Amino acid sequence: MARLLDKRLIFVTGKGGVGKSTVAAALGALAARHGLRTMVAELSSQQRVQGVFDRYGEQFEEVQLAPRLFTISIDPEHAMDEYLRVKVGALGHALASSRLFQAFAMATPGMRELLSIGKVWELAQLHRRTRGASPYDLVIVDAPATGHGLGLLRTPRTFADIARVGPIAHQGRTISDTLADREFTGVVAVATAEEMPVNETLSLIEAVERDELALDLVVLNGLYPMRFNSGEVGQLLEALERSRSQLSRSALRAALAEHARAANQREQQARLDAGVNGRLVELPYVFSEHLGPRQVEDLADALELALRKRR
Amino acid sequence: MSVAELLQGKRICVCAGSGGVGKTTTSAAIALGMAAQGHRVAVVTIDPAQRLANALGVEELPNEPHRVEPGRLAAAGLEVEGELWAMMLDPKRTFDELIDRIAPDPERAAEIKANRVYRELSSAVSGSQEFTAVAKLYDLDQAHEFDLLVLDTPPSRNALDFLEAPQRLSSFLEGSALRALVRPAGRGIRVLGRSATPLLAAMRRVTGVDLLTDLATFFGLLGDMTKDFNLRAQQVEDLLRADTTAFVLVTSAEREPIEEAIWLHRTLEQGGLPFAGVIVNRVHHDLLAGSEAEDVRPALRRLLGSDLAARVAENFRDYHVLARRDDVNVSRLAAALGDEPLLVVPQLDEDVHDLEGLLRMRRYLFASASERRRLIADLVA
């Protein structure tokens, strides 16, 4: 665990709907607990982490959620504006207010991704470019879904290659070196124990290794408990045969359905486990009407326990 | 309201929604159900699960619709009056085919396909999936071979990307922004040099001259083809806005996908796009009918002993936490939708990954209001 939290920048990715934001928030809560000034950065402009903590700020504002825990929602438009004004100076101001340039930059393939990841990089610097901004010990990125997420990590290198020389090439190279530095940057993949998320995670692992990035951890999120053994399942089936009460029958069927789901999940879990070389930790399904700070703290507990056990 | 009614008189059904809510299976179940009713239907999927892809047989012939054997469907227990076709989209290939088609000659097409800006453009990022999905949809629509096309949208960062990305990409290709900054020089395009505006000078300082040159070369290669892109973007947009198109939003009953569906519905309405209804998957229905989950324990204790009965009751309690959560979320969605159609599919016992699963889902999607009430009542019985 120490090794994961020793990094400065962690990308949390996975298929849509597997709980990336929740895992990013739980990881953030865990890091904050360990005394790290932690930023959970969202790139989807959906402000989900803010939603979990029910504390809303402006777009692009660094919002404090709890002691040492912060969040920001990054969008490419704000990122470009900041980049131009801070980095380029007077000329940048001219560009930032040019609609023509805005249109050009936003339409250039990969530019939105480059600008977003540029801001992430800036957040992870000990000497922040943003005037008056304090540094973070750890930046956790709630990255886009798998395909887009990996594309995002490749963008700086692609730009460096395309632009070859000049400020964009230089910036792209600096960022891409940072991402390739395994001491500095890590990747956490999130999956649920279903076929597609497991498939995507397995191909993500290949792709991450091909790109020579460090995949530190795979989090299997939303694992149902195995409440019944196979002998007990027989008893449940038998009871379903005999019972005439509607309520009992509903409860028995719910138990059998959940058991089937949990058993399927174990198959997928085994498939994932076989492909990730001991980097797997599990988080339980949260049976809760809301997902708020308390549930995130519970998940941080579970994460801490799982990471300790793993070592 | 059933899906058949939602899609009455429609030629295109676009299934949109956030990731992980069952869009692909829902699209396939819709196509299957419409085919069963006698239509000739093609479902365009982006990235189906392996077993579903096998079930539909889409891997045998990538990027072209492929008929699902009626025998296969019959074996799963469904006699289909119409025809079910399925295809898996290959974005890169679709893009290349588009270039081949509109390039003035094969040499130009080859040059474009080898261009670095193009290669980046047609890769999986930057909205090319979205762009090629609607491009393919348009081609299939023009071919008039199907009564209905069902499009499973790409797993975007957010569901609106699907609508915005094609526009972004085509406006880039159209190049109007850049066109103002560069001018033709022979076959290529020369970036304005000494006579450049301060704006261009600033741009060069920020982007570096190579990037601008590369872009200029790319647009030089595209030449008049940008007009075709522009025309096509307009045609695609017209197609998506046509009253024979239906946007069906797909969501699960969890909070965030529901919020996204509410927002997406509003966005579609504001954008004047033809919204047809929402399908909510994996809903946990209330099975208690006014009782408490704990009430089940005494009766079960006699059948199962106290330890096992306690665990069944605990499971039942957890199930109803989710039922309450889903009820709150679906109610919020219903309130936001007003009178618009809202179809609910219960949490099925197993994940849908084969034809049997699609058939189970289809029962809920194509049931009339009274059949649906009966199906839901069956869950409790």
B171-185, B208-222, B350-364: which range is least confident on average? B171-185
Which residues of A are less than 8 Å from B209 in CB distance?
Answer: 165-166
Q: What is the pLDDT of residues A100-130, one digit of tens each?
A: 677 677 767 677 888 899 999 999 998 887 7
Question: pLDDT: is B91 or B40 the higher one?
Answer: B40
pLDDT the model gives residue B322: 96
Structure tokens given for A4 = 């994961």
pLDDT the model gives residue B186: 43
Measured between CB atoms, which of B19, B168, B296 is closest to A247?
B296
Structure tokens given for B88 = 């898996």
Establish how many alpha carbons lie within 13 A of residue B283's alpha carbon, considering only the half-sphere containing its beta carbon: 25
Q: Terminal CA-to-CA distance of chain A, rounded, Å?
A: 7
Measured between CB atoms, which of B124, B256, B303 is closest to A239?
B303
- At B208, is the pLDDT very low, low, confident or very high (cuts 50, 70, 90)? low
Flag whether pLDDT at B112 surpasses 70: yes
HEC string of B142-180 equals HHCCCCEEEEECCCCCCCCHHHHHHHHHHHHHHCHHHHC
Q: What is the pLDDT of residues B337-347, one digit of tens each?
A: 999 999 999 98
- Check if the beta carbon of residue B125 is closer than 8 Å to that of residue B99: no
* Beta bridge mates, A142: A12, A42
Taken as a whole, chain A contains a residue count of 311
Measured between CB atoms, which of B19, B202, B256 is closest to A48?
B256
Which residues of A are less than 8 Å from B250 in CB distance?
Answer: none
Nearest to B310 by CA among B302, B318, B301, B322: B301
Nearest to A290 by CA among A13, A73, A53, A70: A53
Are B252 and A246 within 8 A, CB to CB?
no
Structure-token match 């549930």, residue found: A295
Nearest to B35 by CA among B82, B71, B79: B82
Flag whether pLDDT at B187 surpasses 50: no
Measured between CB atoms, which of A104, A151, A245 is closest to B299?
A245
Chain A: residue whose CA lies nearest to B115: A162
Average pLDDT across chain B, whole number: 84
Which stretches of chain A score pLDDT less than 70?
A: 1-2, 45, 100, 103, 107, 109, 146-149, 311
Which residues of A are less than 8 Å from B324 in CB distance?
Answer: 289
B373 touching chain A per CB within 8 A: no
Are A195 and B288 within 8 A, CB to CB?
no
Nearest to B124 by CA among A148, A117, A11: A148
Are A248 and B308 within 8 A, CB to CB?
no
Nearest to B13 by CA among B211, B277, B372: B277
pLDDT the model gives residue B236: 84
- At B8, is the pLDDT very low, low, confident or very high (cuts 50, 70, 90)? very high
Which residues of A are less than 8 Å from B256 in CB distance?
Answer: 21, 46, 48, 51
Structure tokens given for A148 = 């887009």
Q: What is the pLDDT of residues B125-182, one digit of tens each?
A: 556 777 788 888 999 999 999 999 999 987 665 556 666 766 767 767 666 555 555 5
Quickly count: other Cβ atoms within 10 Å of residue B81's Cβ: 10
Q: What is the pTM of this model?
A: 0.90
Among B92, B211, B250, B348, most A C-beta atoms within 10 A, so best to mutate, is: B211
Q: What is the pLDDT of residues A131-177, one digit of tens each?
A: 778 899 999 999 877 666 677 888 888 778 777 777 778 888 999 99
pLDDT the model gives residue A167: 74
pLDDT the model gives residue A111: 79
Interface of B with A in 244-283 (CB under 8 A): 252, 255-257, 260
pLDDT the model gives residue B110: 94
Are B308 and A247 within 8 A, CB to CB?
no
Chain A: residue whose CA lies nearest to B215: A108
pLDDT the model gives residue A151: 74
B302 touching chain A per CB within 8 A: no
A255 touching chain B per CB within 8 A: yes
Q: What's the rounded Cα separation, in Å, for the pair B118 and B67? A: 33
Which residues of B are less than 8 Å from A242 in CB distance?
Answer: 303
Chain A: residue whose CA lies nearest to B203: A95
Question: pLDDT: is A226 or B95 the higher one?
Answer: A226
pLDDT the model gives residue A101: 73
